[in-house]
């Protein structure tokens, strides 16, 4: 049975369709990535799935429950971390976690055990006595995510959960989420950081203009839309006038320090033109490397193909 099943969802504001006939299915124990540019409909979609906003039409089934007819049953079994900050300013980190456990009816001794474990797992031990209002943005975000794990849940919605986190804290969180899905948790994950989606998600849906344009695994999306490659040339010297020599070659860029980058669907042809442009410059190629297209490259190419007039 699918953990999330949505069919024909629509939602409009003031005559503008924020979500326009979206259908999707998410299997249990997976991380489902939901990607799209700003204003694509991601936030509206996640609010409908978490029962915060009622759809204009369509159906939503969460964990086998009709989410439109029985929203309270759904809320008891899910966790939600929205993009907007949410914290108790005057409570310490430790007390905030315990209060959240109390709200969910977790017994006192178990609350203390869970809070202690989560403070250790999220690196909050050194600041457990600090009030939330005295924390940095990244620290508050870690508390906000850790707080959801104070109660048992089958499905977790995370909307841009790594906002404000430094690279180390971001990777720690992603690894933690991977571990929890290994234990059976399902995660619905929105992010604008494509490397996160590539690292974490089992499946990805791309939404734009309120409609889902494609779904697939990160590898499938790269193969489907990532027809290009990146080629880098390292020169032994920064040849005078190099940028001018390369200016007419599509997808070619001269970087400081004598590096040339080619981003092209036909890198072999572009490389031939670059070699011709370098002839007589006095620069010699010391190293050539080719890199496969990333999910971010494929995503940008996908958005260009779907743009009006493309």
Residue 11 CA from chain centroid, whole number? 23
Which domains, ranges and CATH numbers included, belong to the chain? Answer: 4-224 (3.40.50.300), 228-292 (3.30.70.100)
CA distances from 94 to 101, 128, 151, 237, 246 (A): 11, 5, 15, 57, 58
The pTM (predicted TM-score) of the whole model is: 0.77
**Residue 273, SS3?**
helix
Residue 182: left (phi > 0), alpha (psi -120 to 50), or beta? alpha
Average pLDDT over residues 125-138: 95
Burial of 132 (0-12, 13-18, 19+ CB in 10 A): buried
pLDDT digits (tens, 9 = 90+) for 157-205: 999 999 889 999 999 999 999 999 988 899 999 988 888 988 999 999 9
Q: What is the pLDDT of residues 114-131, one digit of tens each?
A: 999 999 999 999 999 999
| Token output for 122 | 């999220």
Please work out, in degrees rounded to the nearest 5, the angle formed at the alpha carbon of residue 251 by the alpha carbons of 247 and 252.
50
Q: Are 260 and 254 in contact (CB under 8 A)?
A: yes
And the tokens for 199?
């690292």
């Amino acid at each position: 049975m699918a953990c999330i099943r949505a069919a024909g969802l629509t939602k409009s504001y003031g005559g503008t369709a924020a979500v326009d006939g979206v259908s999707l299915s998410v299997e249990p124990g997976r991380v489902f990535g939901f990607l799209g540019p700003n204003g694509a409909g991601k936030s509206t979609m996640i609010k409908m799935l978490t029962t915060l906003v009622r759809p204009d039409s369509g159906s939503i089934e969460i964990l086998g429950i009709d989410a439109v007819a029985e929203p309270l049953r759904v809320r008891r079994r899910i966790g939600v971390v929205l993009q907007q900050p949410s914290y108790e300013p005057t409570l310490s980190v430790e007390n905030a976690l315990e209060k959240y456990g109390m709200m969910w009816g977790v017994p006192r001794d178990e609350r203390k055990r869970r809070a202690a474990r989560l403070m250790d797992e999220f690196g909050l031990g050194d600041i457990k006595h600090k009030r939330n209002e005295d924390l940095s943005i990244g620290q508050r975000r870690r508390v906000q995510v850790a707080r959801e794990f104070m109660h048992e849940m089958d499905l977790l919605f995370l909307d841009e959960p790594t906002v404000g986190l430094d690279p180390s804290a971001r990777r720690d969180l992603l690894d933690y989420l991977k571990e929890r899905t290994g234990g059976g948790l399902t995660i619905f994950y929105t992010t604008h950081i494509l490397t996160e989606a590539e690292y974490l998600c089992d499946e990805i849906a791309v939404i734009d203009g309120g409609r889902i344009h494609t779904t697939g695994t990160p590898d499938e999306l790269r193969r489907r839309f990532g027809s290009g490659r990146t080629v880098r040339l390292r020169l032994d010297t920064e040849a005078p006038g190099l940028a001018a020599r390369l200016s007419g070659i599509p997808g070619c860029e001269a970087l400081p320090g004598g590096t040339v980058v080619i981003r092209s669907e036909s890198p072999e042809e572009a490389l031939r033109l670059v070699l011709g442009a370098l002839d007589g410059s006095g620069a010699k190629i010391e190293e050539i490397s080719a890199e496969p297209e990333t999910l971010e490259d494929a995503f940008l190419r996908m958005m260009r193909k779907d743009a009006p007039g493309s």
